[in-house]
């Protein structure tokens, strides 16, 4: 999967204003809704929150990947955001999250969802890349770091 097909400056934010897990989900969902690609905001929110109830999407190294499968979208969509402050996301390593990748995908299509998550996970394995992302000050700069 080519990240450039999914990510653009309109869905990349270098400075989230949220301070809680619920607010991160709402703020990022709002970014995706603004693209016009979410047909039902409440259905999308429900899918994201149900996934979080099953198991937190907080990973390691300050990364969280809230995601859900829903009929509210026709194709995989994604949003990437960074917080200047760490947010408790119930991460595996117990550390606060600062890098967030949100995806929504249709219930009936698994391939693109798995492929996107695998590609993003590989991308974020680099400590240097994560640190550079945290320093980005504009959407264009953060996007360049992600797709380079």
Percent of the chain with pLDDT over 70: 99
The answer, yes or no, to whether residue 1 has pLDDT greater than 60, is no
Catalytic residue among 13, 45, 51, 67: 67
Q: Which two tokens stand for residue 90?
A: 């119930």
Q: What is the pLDDT of residues 3-34, one digit of tens each?
A: 778 999 999 999 999 999 999 999 999 999 99
Q: What is the pLDDT of residues 67-107, one digit of tens each?
A: 999 999 999 999 999 999 999 999 989 999 999 999 999 99
What average pLDDT does the segment 23-48 reach?
A: 97
Q: What does the domain layout of the chain look like in residue ranges?
A: 3-147
Helix then strand then coil, in percent of the chain rounded to 5, is: 45, 20, 35
Domain 3-147 is classified in which CATH homologous superfamily?
Mannitol-specific EII; Chain A (3.40.930.10)
| CA-angle at 15, arms to 55 and 20, nearest 5° | 35
Is pTM beyond 0.85 here? yes
Determine whether 61 is an active site residue.
no
Q: DSSP class of residue 109?
A: -
Question: What's the chain's average pLDDT?
Answer: 92
């Amino acid at each position: 999967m080519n990240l450039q097909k999914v990510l653009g400056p309109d869905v990349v934010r270098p400075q989230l204003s949220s301070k809680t897990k619920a607010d991160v989900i709402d703020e990022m969902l709002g970014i995706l809704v603004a693209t016009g690609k979410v047909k039902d905001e409440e259905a999308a929110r429900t899918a994201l929150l149900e996934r979080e109830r099953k198991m937190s999407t907080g990973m390691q190294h300050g990364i969280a990947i809230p995601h859900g499968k829903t009929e509210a979208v026709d194709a995989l969509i994604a949003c990437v955001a960074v917080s200047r402050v760490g947010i408790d996301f119930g991460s595996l390593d117990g550390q606060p999250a600062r890098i967030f990748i949100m995806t929504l995908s249709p219930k009936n299509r698994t391939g693109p969802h798995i492929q996107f998550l695998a590609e993003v996970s590989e991308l974020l394995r680099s400590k240097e890349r994560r640190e550079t992302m945290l320093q980005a000050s504009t959407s264009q700069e953060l996007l360049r770091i992600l797709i380079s």
